[in-house]
Amino acid sequence: MPKLYKNVVLWDAERESASLCDVLTEGAEIAKIAPAGTLDGEAAFDGRGGTAMLPGFVNAHGHAAMTMLRGLGEELPLMEWLQKKIWPVENKLDAETAYIGAQLALMEMLSTGTTCFADMYFFMDSVAEAVLAGGMRAGLSRGIVPSQDGGRERLDENLKLARDYDGANGLIHVQLGPHAPYTVPTAFMTEIAAAAKENGLGVQLHWLETKSDWPLSDGSKTMNPEEYLEKTGMTGVKHLLLAHCVWMEKEKFPFYARPNITVAHNPKSNWKLGSGTAPVCAMAEAGIAVSLGTDGASSNNRLDMWDEMRFASLAQKGANLDPTLLSARDAFRMATVAGARALGFEKTGLLREGWTADFMLVDLDKPHYVGWDLENLPGCIVYAGSSADVKATVVAGETLYENGSFTRLDKEKITAQANAARKRLTSQA
Ligand SMILES: [Zn+2]
């Protein structure tokens, strides 16, 4: 059914400035964008010149069901945190708790303007079902490490996920999700890359997150990180989404400047875990595609891309003593279209005719936006705006969140189920 949005202030990362528009969506797509007052018909929504229409955020790295683990073991070193606090509870997760955790994540993301997200975790059938029931867009991967006897079951599970869900409702793309070079032996990583190529799938991979990641990898004994990507075949996969990249060496940046490689920058997780600041402006300057993600809720602890985007921009300026770095436009590009491309959604992340109708409506009629105009809107959004300004979130033409309510998700029921599940997961018995 066509839907007309009148008098909205339209902007995306490829537009020089914002403009006052009428927008017609038809089904899952944007059918027409025209100057305000020129499209006839009854308005489904009238922005009255005080509502921004922006592409929805694409959260390019995370572990959605980790919402069930939020707040466990704060302020610990990464390995101690994982071993003592996270892994024991993760061992108790099951398909049902993963489904509830994914639904919690969906609510948090939709209410903060995110329309698409990357996920690497387990019980991914549950996550895929939650995504389809909730109506969001996602790039899903099964976190792969060898099974206890060294078997490849998790790779097979990931390939089955692809057979079952890749392309589902036009909303899901499946990638393979080898966890990291320090948890996946080199030979297995090579096998995973070959499977990705054979099946035409992209890959999500944790890459050089902490200083000790690479020295812990068995590949480090004979290769440097870039030789490893080359020799395992990872550089040849359809698309390689490298999460973190905090410890990538500057001299190696040109190696990563390829159309099939995207970095997923997770500045708040990296800071919270004391991992460091990824030099993403220098990466972008070297021609590397950089997207933005929140990482899981237990290491951020928010799935709020507004917060992430603002923090990313400020951290680059502060860490490099340079206020000109990571402009509002570049931060917004990282938070939207760059992630969509990395997940294989070629027509998502900008507001264009024929592109997916994935967007948020943002209330500009708030005290902290006084002074906004069509030219300065990007700065107002990135530096002054927050997720509290999101009025509605639309994915594939369907309104999934509006004025505090979800159209498909039952907030009270999911929250009650999540509270009960959390008690079960963290009880000692
Ligand atoms: Zn991660």
Cα(146) to ligand 1 centroid in Å equals 17
Distance 17 CA to ligand 1 centre (A): 34
CA dihedral 264, 293, 54, 329 (to 10 degrees): -50
428 pLDDT higher than 80: no
Is it the case that residue 1 has pLDDT exceeding 90?
A: no
Measure 132 CA to ligand 1 centroid, in angstroms.
Answer: 22
* Average pLDDT of the residues in 68-76: 91
- The Å distance, Cα 313 to ligand 1 centre, comes to 20
DSSP string, 68-92: GGTTSS-S--HHHIIIIIIHHHHTT
The burial class, CB within 10 Å (0-12 / 13-18 / 19+), for 286 is middle
- Cα 181 to Cα 395: distance, rounded to the nearest angstrom: 35
Tokens of 24: 């017609």
* Contact between residue 176 and residue 192 where contact means Cβ atoms under 8 Å apart: yes
pLDDT, residue 272, reads: 93
Contact 48, 7 (CB under 8 A): yes
Mean pLDDT calculated for residue range 326-347 = 98
User: What sections of 19-166 are H helices per DSSP?
Assistant: 78-80, 87-90, 95-111, 124-134, 153-165
Q: Which helix (H) or strand (E) holds 305?
A: helix 305-319
Calculate how far, in angstroms, residue 178's C-alpha sits from the geometric centre of ligand 1: 11
Of 98-107, 210-219, 302-311, give the lowest mean pLDDT range: 210-219
User: What band does 78 get if pLDDT is binned at 50, 70 and 90?
Assistant: confident
Round to whole Å and give the CA distance between 351 and 15.
Answer: 9
Q: For 81-95, 171-185, 268-282, 374-388, which range has the lowest pLDDT when averaged over its residues?
A: 81-95
* Alpha carbon distance 227, 248 (integer Å): 13
Average pLDDT, integer, range 277-296: 97
pLDDT tens across 375-418, in order?
999 999 999 999 999 999 999 999 999 999 999 999 999 999 99
pLDDT interval class at 80 (50, 70, 90):
confident
- Cα 99 to middle of ligand 1, angstroms: 19
Residue 66 Cα, ligand 1 centroid: separation in angstroms? 10
Q: By the 8 A CB rule, do 264 and 241 touch?
A: yes
Per-residue pLDDT of 127-138, as tens digits, reads 999 999 999 999
Predicted confidence band at 429 (pLDDT cuts at 50, 70, 90)?
A: low
29 CA distance to ligand 1 middle (Å): 31
| pLDDT more than 90, % of the chain | 94
Look up the pTM and report it.
0.97
List CB-based neighbours of ion ligand 1 within 5 Å: 295
Distance 207 CA to ligand 1 centre (A): 9
The pLDDT, as a whole number, for residue 202 is: 98
CA 300 to chain centre: 13
Instruction: Report the distance separating Cα 369 and Cα 365, nearest Å.
Output: 7
Percent of the chain at pLDDT exceeding 70: 100
How confident is the model over 165-177, as a mean pLDDT? Answer: 98
Q: What is the mean pLDDT of residues 239-247?
A: 98
Calpha distance 399→66 (Å, rounded): 25
Ligand 1 centroid from CA 192, angstroms: 18
Confidence band of 69 (pLDDT split at 50, 70, 90): very high
On average, the pLDDT of the chain sits at 97
